[in-house]
A and B are shown apart, each in its own frame.
Chain A
Amino acid sequence: MKPPAFAYAKARALDHAIELLGVDGARLLAGGQSLIATLNMRLSSPSLLVDINGIGGLEGIALRDGRLEIGALVRHVQAERSAEIARHAPLIARAMPHIGHAAIRNRGTLGGSIAFADPAAELPACLVALGGEVEIAGPEGRRTVAADDFFKDLFETALGPRDVLTAIRVPAATADTRVGFAELARRHGDYAMVGLAAAARADGKAPKDPRLVYFGVGTTPVRARKAEAALAGGSLDQAVAALAQDLAPQDDVQATAAVKTHLAGVLLRRVAQQLEAA
């Protein structure tokens, strides 16, 4: 179980990385906590790995214009301990303890989690729930893609082969921001069987503009739009019932589609309580 042969280059700067990614079969290496495992298993055979870990300026966490910007190379452990994230992006703060284990969190990056886009991962769902966006640098320059448009299909995103994800941005939490997070994983740190990241605004009884984003139930993070509408209308029961239409999970080795849909309903009830809590 050794990786196939590939070349390695350490990018000095973003432009350099983008240039190196022009090599046919090149792949970007960030934290490597998913990529190197797939290389070891020979599930992927890039010609060149472009290591962006040495590029400066991608590990910051900063509030700008009412948005919290998190650099692509921010490690999970840094995010977990970040006062800025706890204050301005409490949903991400709640998700962090569920991600991987100590050694993985020391090395894995937030940008890598988003770019790898594992459908059972926490952060892509959080990004969509928060209505965040992804900052991308590519051969044509920089662009911003809304999280809703970023996750295309199983392990497929809006990133092109020469693109580098440089940061994610989420609206900073305000006094009326409500978030909820819950996941069911068989063991601590495992990818979720089913998980739910949710955000809303407090508005009297029912949460306003709730965004309910499931993970582990599809090929991408899945917004449960009918359930969102029902929840906004004040009916949790209808919201749970609507999940049967919103979600179309596939059977996998952990659970059948029916079990996942049931669990999604349980999570919705639990997360709805969190959304109500001040």
Chain B
Amino acid sequence: MKIVQDMPPVLSALDRPNSYIGRSVPRPNLARLMQGRGQYVSDVVLPRMAHVAFARSPHAHARIRAIETGRAKSAPGVIAVVTGAELARVMTPWVGVLTHLKGIKSAPQHALAVDRACWRGEAVCAVVARSRAEAEDAIELVEVDYEELAPVTDAETALDPGTPVIHPDLGDNLTFERRHEAGAPDTAFAEADEVVEATFRFGRHTGVTNEPRAVVADWNPGEQRLTVYHGTQAPHMMQNLFAKHLALEEHQVRVITKDVGGSFGIKVHTYADEMATVALSKLLKRPVKFVADRIESFVTDIHARDHRVQARVAVKRDGTITAFEIDDLTGIGPYSVYPRTSGIEANQVVNLTGGPYTCPNYRALARVVFQNKNVMCQYRAVGHPIATAVTEGLVDLAAMRIGMDPVEIRRRNLIADDAYPTSGPSGIRFEQLSHHASLDKVLAMMDYRALRAEQARLREKGVHRGIGLASFIEVTNPSAAFYGVGGARISSQDGVTIRLDAQGAIICHTGVTEQGQGAEAVIAQVAASAFGVPIARVRVVTGDTDNTPYGGGTWASRAAGIGGEAAWQAGKALRANVLAVAGSILQAAPESLDIRNGTVIDRETGRERIGLDEVARVAYFRPDTLPPGFQAELMATRHYVPRAWPFAFTNGIQASLLEVDVETGFITLLKHWCVEDCGTVINPQLVDEQVRGGVVQGLGAVLFEHCLYDERGQLLNGNMADYLVPMACEMPDIAVGHVVSPTADSELGAKGAGEAGTAGAPACVMNAVNDALAPLGAATITEMPITPSVVLRALGRV
């Protein structure tokens, strides 16, 4: 395989003679995808496979008085019509709580609603038929007698005494509350030269994966085994959940995840309709397929980010920031999502706010409430865009108040690059970050001073450009602290098994999964480097609970940092095993040998001694020629989990240049920059593209994407014509730069990079818009998405 770009930004002891670390190696699975020969779950067809469609509640909150299924059952092609009560006999309900989120509560949720529907779109009845079209035909014949109940839709009033309680057994609509205080915020605010307050509003939005959620479940009563083809990020987690709620042993469940058409955190949760599909397969003893259509996706894929944050910052006239305070309120739908809970985003907002800055005084309150809308849960960069926009918005407002350049106030307050290890305002621990180096780098990349001069010139001509900055921190490489300690059976460790095949190539099996981010390429690069073969001689197998080491999959930017380290260790272990065999064959000390480019060599001289194919041949076919008692072990497994730090925090900074048409309120994005520090860069191109893709997801959030609900809990724009995702025309070119601060927790030193783009883009665009509008006396914009209407209102034009 060719190497397309050879610019290793860091060469370390890891850089073995044939190292691929730090190189832009093309991903091994691209040709297949580009030829239309991928295998997405939507593509899976099995013998006797049936299709399911769901009758979904048209009401945000309603009692189900009766379901009449007779007409549907006799419709052409229908195999079964199943209600919630019937399915509950096969599958037990679940409750989305974890013990480390103290006090979090939720109600039992069923695969299909039983008695009551709690959001518009909740599945209440399943029709299984020969084809999806026939299942949809029969859905129209299912008659559900609903008694509408008062919906709770406004998070602001969800806790008022007069508001109905969605789950009466829980006592109130409060899901979770967290209070945090550090230092002496009251004193800091009292002694501040200026206190700046703002209320930030974040629009509810959703992931819109290009391939909708998809599952094919195949219960084989003969084998007493369930095979689930599932577009998921976490096959082993799902194996556990399918088993648990169908009363099976985990070994009876196999989850297979081949190609996945986009995830972004959407596909790491338990979805009632997917659980129902699996239960239906058990019930009907045949394969059942469910692929959410786009309209279903909008009302059932998890939503995120619907937060209102009242916030203030205390600042001294010299620019010193002395305190942050936030009050975050978020409505998460009627259930806390299983098994990760819907408390995490608010919890992250508390953890991350103020994170880049030296600021000892901090007070935070986060409240998470139930409401009758679609559920919210963890979506790419959980909590980060909110915390970053609040923090960076306040920092810019403070700078404006005291008349300081946004760059200068950051220089004065960002944690010094030589101050590590240290902690952030919320107590989160940082091993090594590089805020100042990142700031310097982005200013150089964008030529900040030239842009400011150009901005001033254009302003005189009536052209209103804005420049915005946003420093951020990012949670990656999570240890058990994220979920495991709260009782979730979600693996934070991951493993890689590497086997030498009989021709000297290697096969890697890993618990991390490929969602398109390039996990397979990274595993291949690391394994090739550690072991010593050309990358073309590496095959990576992911996404099969029968055939991979137990692991967590892909989430929270963990695949490269955690899976990569496991591959590194496994590669070294297999190398040692192979050299033991080679040493035995060559009668040489294994320590005197190494493997380079697929050949065993003399470590000192580099002289070629024996090919790996020959080592494999002897070990597999002529072990009789090896010394008595010597057993070749040509397969090695290693696992890794971060232990020294609960999370490998990374950092970075983004900048936006944009132009505002002050007559129409339309915003044109001209250019975007991101400098980020994810430690050791294993594959620069993959990191850059993660950043770019993440940035655009953040740009969607700040300018376009919004799940609009009315007061009755009806989603008003649940289709792709009305819910605006970012398309090519409106997106800018994005320049990406790096600073490298490896983590010492692993030998590779790699941290994650998947959240960085999404974390910072909304904040810097918001700041840029305000930068453009401030000279016009506009009100400060602190709500997202920033639509033309929002801009016109800020300008007082409507």
Residues of A within 8 A of B (CB): 1-5, 41-42, 184, 186-191, 193, 253-256, 258-259, 262-263, 266
Contact = CB atoms under 8 A, between A and B. Distances in A.
A191 B724 contact: no
A253 B295 CA distance: 17
Contacts of B137: 4-5
A262 B798 contact: yes
B724 A186 contact: yes
Contact of A1 (B294, B708, B722): B294
Contacts of A193: 788
Contacts of B708: 253
Interface string B708-741: 1000000011010110100101100000000000
B716 A262 contact: no
A195 B718 CA distance: 24
B140 to A, nearest CB: 8
A1 B789 contact: no
B729 A187 contact: yes
Contact of B789 (A189, A190, A259): A259
Interface string B659-691: 000011110000000000000000000000000
A259 B717 contact: no
Nearest to A185: B666
B429 interface: no
B405 interface: no
A164 B17 CA distance: 74
Max chain A C-beta neighbours (<10 A), residue from B664, B716, B797: B664
Contacts of A258: 798
Contact of A255 (B136, B294, B730, B789): B789
B704 interface: yes
Given A1-B295, A263-B664, A191 B721 contact: yes
B248 interface: no
A193 B798 CA distance: 16
The 3 closest A-B pairs by CB, nearest first: A1-B293, A2-B133, A188-B729
A191 B797 CA distance: 24
Q: Chain A's interface: helix, strand, loop or mixed, by majority? A: loop
B792 interface: yes
Nearest to A193: B788
B132 interface: yes
Contacts of B789: 255-256, 259
Contacts of B294: 1
Nearest to B139: A42
A188 B664 contact: no
Q: Chain B's interface: helix, strand, loop or mixed, by majority? A: loop
Given A255-B788, A259-B789, A259-B792, A184 B798 contact: no
B798 A188 contact: no
A266 B716 contact: no
Contacts of A256: 789, 798
A153 B613 CA distance: 77
Given A184-B664, A186-B704, A2 B729 contact: no
Given A262-B792, A266-B664, A253 B716 contact: yes
A253 B729 contact: no
A253 B722 contact: yes
Contacts of A4: 136-137, 140
Contact of B136 (A2, A253, A254, A259): A2
Given A186-B704, A259-B788, A253 B717 contact: yes
9 contacts: A2-B133, A4-B137, A186-B788, A187-B729, A187-B730, A189-B729, A253-B708, A253-B716, A255-B787
Nearest to A40: B293
Contacts of A188: 727, 729-730
Contacts of A191: 721
A262 B716 CA distance: 24
Contacts of B727: 187-189
Contacts, number: 64
A184 B666 contact: yes
A51 B133 CA distance: 22
A143 B684 CA distance: 66
Nearest to A184: B664
B134 to A, nearest CB: 9
B663 A266 contact: yes
A270 to B, nearest CB: 9
A10 B797 CA distance: 53
Contacts of B131: 2
A41 B721 CA distance: 13
Given A4-B140, A253-B708, A259-B788, 16 more contacts: A2-B131, A2-B133, A41-B295, A41-B719, A189-B727, A190-B721, A190-B724, A191-B721, A253-B716, A253-B722, A255-B788, A256-B798, A259-B665, A259-B792, A262-B797, A263-B788
A255 B787 CA distance: 9
Interface in B376-399: none
B464 to A, nearest CB: 15
A48 B719 CA distance: 26
Contacts of B721: 190-191
Contacts of A1: 136, 293-296
Contacts of A2: 131-133, 136
Contacts of B140: 4, 42
A206 B91 CA distance: 75
Contacts of A255: 787-789
Contacts of A5: 133, 137
A2 B65 CA distance: 29
Contact of A259 (B133, B724, B730, B798): B798
A44 to B, nearest CB: 14
A256 B719 CA distance: 20
Max chain A C-beta neighbours (<10 A), residue from B132, B136, B717, B798: B798
A134 to B, nearest CB: 26
Max chain B C-beta neighbours (<10 A), residue from A1, A262, A263: A1
B577 to A, nearest CB: 53
Contacts of B293: 1
B617 to A, nearest CB: 54
B42 to A, nearest CB: 13
A256 B295 CA distance: 25
B796 to A, nearest CB: 11
B788 A184 contact: yes
Contact of B724 (A41, A187, A262): A187
B696 to A, nearest CB: 13
A186 B723 CA distance: 11
Nearest to A194: B664
A191 to B, nearest CB: 7
A186 B700 CA distance: 12
Interface in B129-166: 131-133, 136-137, 140
A193 B730 CA distance: 16
A4 B140 CA distance: 10
A262 B132 CA distance: 46
Max chain B C-beta neighbours (<10 A), residue from A2, A41, A256: A2
Nearest to B723: A253
B795 to A, nearest CB: 10
A187 B704 CA distance: 9
Contacts of B798: 256, 258-259, 262
A111 to B, nearest CB: 22
Contacts of A254: 787
